[in-house]
Amino acid sequence: MRRLLNVKPQGGLRLLLGLIPILALLLVYLTASSARHAENPTDRILPTPAAMASAVRIMAFEADPRTGEIPLAADTTASLKRLFIGIGLAVATTLILGLTIGLLPLMRAGLGPVVAAISVIPPIAILPILFITFGLGETAKIALIFIGIVPVMVRDLASHVGAIPEEQLVKAQTLGASTWLITLRVALPQALPRLIESLRLSLCPAWVYLISAEAIAADVGLGYRIFLVRRYLAMDIILPYVVWISLLAVLMDFALASLSRATFSWAHPARGR
């Protein structure tokens, strides 16, 4: 008899094992939903698949008579725009600060403490400050995403760059590389795969801050919508929206992972368990 930790599922079995918990969750939901509807046919807390399908049809395929726009499309466009601008600014800032703090003792001495101090502030706590400073428009929401994820990413990248062995840096100097060339040719290429990895981990907080900001002050957006229809206990809209948000998040994560594997093959040793 082989030890349990040596039994490795292959092919179809592996797929099946992954599907079982998902199917089980669906089954639990459907059972609970039909039980509630047997007792009260107008139940709104656990809507039936049919009710959710009709809500999706209204939200995703029919224009809102008031605005003339399809709600799901408008919400998705608005949210993704905020998310991508926030993430884009965060990545650019992280790259510059992470590389310089990690590589230059002068920058580490100067900026290390302030980045460490900012990173312990709960970002939601400064949301009022952002609303007061930037108004209720797009800027405050983008700023919240930015402030929410930048300190952690900067610290992660700086410590990764700081951990490049001294031997490599001395070697580069004996090959005539200046500080600039070491940054460009030695530190930057080794920082990029780590930056992608840390962005993947920061996607979840970025969504949290986006939805929080939209819940509090917005007139369009995925977070705005689910908090709006909450007032009517419209679980038939909230649940498909949550599934849609999860799907978008999974796609982004998958795209980043593929990008890293395709671009930085040296950083992804072929191994598996």
Partner 1 sequence: MAVLSFHDVWVEYGDKIVLEKVTLDVAEGAFVSIVGPSGAGKSTFLRLTTGQEAPSRGRVRLDGAPLSPEPGPDRGVVFQRYSVFPHMNALENVAFGLECKRAPILGKLFGAARRQAREEAAAMLAHVGLGDNLDVYPRELSGGMQQRLAIAQALILRPRILLLDEPFGALDPGVRLDMHVLITDLWREHGLTILMVTHDIKEAFKLGTRVLAFDKRRRDPQAPHRYGATAVYDFPLDEKKSRAVPAELKNIVAN
> In the complex, which residues of this chain contact partner 1 (CB under 8 A)?
165-168, 170-178, 180-181, 184-186, 189-190, 264-267, 269
Q: Who's near 110: CB < 8 A, 6+ residues apart?
A: none
Q: How far is the CB of 178 from partner 1 (least distance, A)?
A: 7
Q: How far is the CB of 106 from partner 1 (least distance, A)?
A: 15
Of 152 and 192, CB closest to partner 1: 192
Q: Who's near 269: CB < 8 A, 6+ residues apart?
A: none
Of 111 and 169, CB closest to partner 1: 169
Of 248 and 267, CB closest to partner 1: 267
Q: How far is the CB of 98 from partner 1 (least distance, A)?
A: 16
Of 132 and 163, CB closest to partner 1: 163
Can you point out the beta strands (E) in 146-226?
none
Inter-residue contact 114 to 93 (CB < 8 Å): no
Q: How far is CA 71 from CA 75, 77, 261, in A?
A: 6, 10, 36
Of 106 and 181, CB closest to partner 1: 181
Q: Who's near 212: CB < 8 A, 6+ residues apart?
A: 124, 127, 144, 223
How far, in Å, CA of 148 to CA of 111, rounded? 18
Phi-psi region of 233 (alpha: psi -120 to 50; beta: other; left: phi over 0): left
Q: How far is the CB of 187 from partner 1 (least distance, A)?
A: 10
Q: How far is the CB of 228 from partner 1 (least distance, A)?
A: 48
Inter-residue contact 187 to 251 (CB < 8 Å): no
